Amino acid sequence: MQGKKRACRDFGEDLIMEGIKWVVGNEKRFADFIANLNGKDKIALLSHTDLDGVASAKIVYEVIKPDFVMFVNYDELNDKLIDELKKNKVNKIIMCDLYINELRKDFAEKLKKFNNVLIIDHHPFFFDFNNEKIMFFNADGYCAAYLCYSLFSKIEDLENYDWLVACACISDYSYKKNEEWMKEVFEKYGDEFKGGIAEGIKD
């Protein structure tokens, strides 16, 4: 963050973004989280190892520039990871595309030991993890990269990464609810989108 605070651009009171209705998550809290980041924070970005996770991490990284980036699998959400984060004096965490199921509920509880945690995910969830320390965003029918792209585009122009996000949507079979956006992206690059099938993809 280079010691600077960030503010969300054109951030209104409406908590429903165009095209996305969050199942859980409060965009005002997201705006506050971003605005309060500063050069003294030690920020860790955790994301899944598949294309959706990598694309999500790229989107977040371009805006936040975290101190640590870690790609992990679901079974690595454990005490060893918590200890590593504490060892590196991390005080704020951003997690993308990481499914916290009932077996890992204790991991979510241990995240409260950190100052602030932002979780952006799209998997079915059994519990709303939102509390005073954790911000949990989830929306059905979208991939995590698209959710990150939508949120963090509130801060910076990320249009150059629209093709990467579109690829993540295809890889996770999450392109029904944002199909019009997918068509626009493909047309922008001279391609055609038909329900997950790209015709005439350029080299």
Q: Residue 89: inside a domain, yes or no?
A: yes
pLDDT in tens, 61-118: 999 999 999 999 999 999 999 999 999 999 999 999 999 877 677 898 898 888 899 9
Q: Residue 143: inside a domain, yes or no?
A: yes
Q: Residue 12: inside a domain, yes or no?
A: no
Q: Residue 57: inside a domain, yes or no?
A: yes
Q: What are phi and psi of 70, to 5 degrees?
A: -130, 125
CA 65: distance to chain centroid? 14
Specify the pLDDT at position 196.
60
pLDDT in tens, 119-145: 999 999 888 999 999 999 999 999 999
Domain that includes residue 46, residue range: 27-156
pTM of the model: 0.88
The b-or-e profile of 23-37 (16+ CB within 10 A means b, else e) is ebbebebbbebbeeb
Q: What are phi and psi of 81, to 5 degrees?
A: -70, -40
pLDDT in tens, 1-50: 443 445 445 444 333 345 688 999 999 999 999 999 999 999 999 999 99
Instruction: Work out how many domains the chain is built from and give that number.
Output: 1
Q: How many whole angstroms separate alpha carbon 159 and alpha carbon 72?
A: 27
Q: How many whole angstroms separate alpha carbon 193 and alpha carbon 145?
A: 18
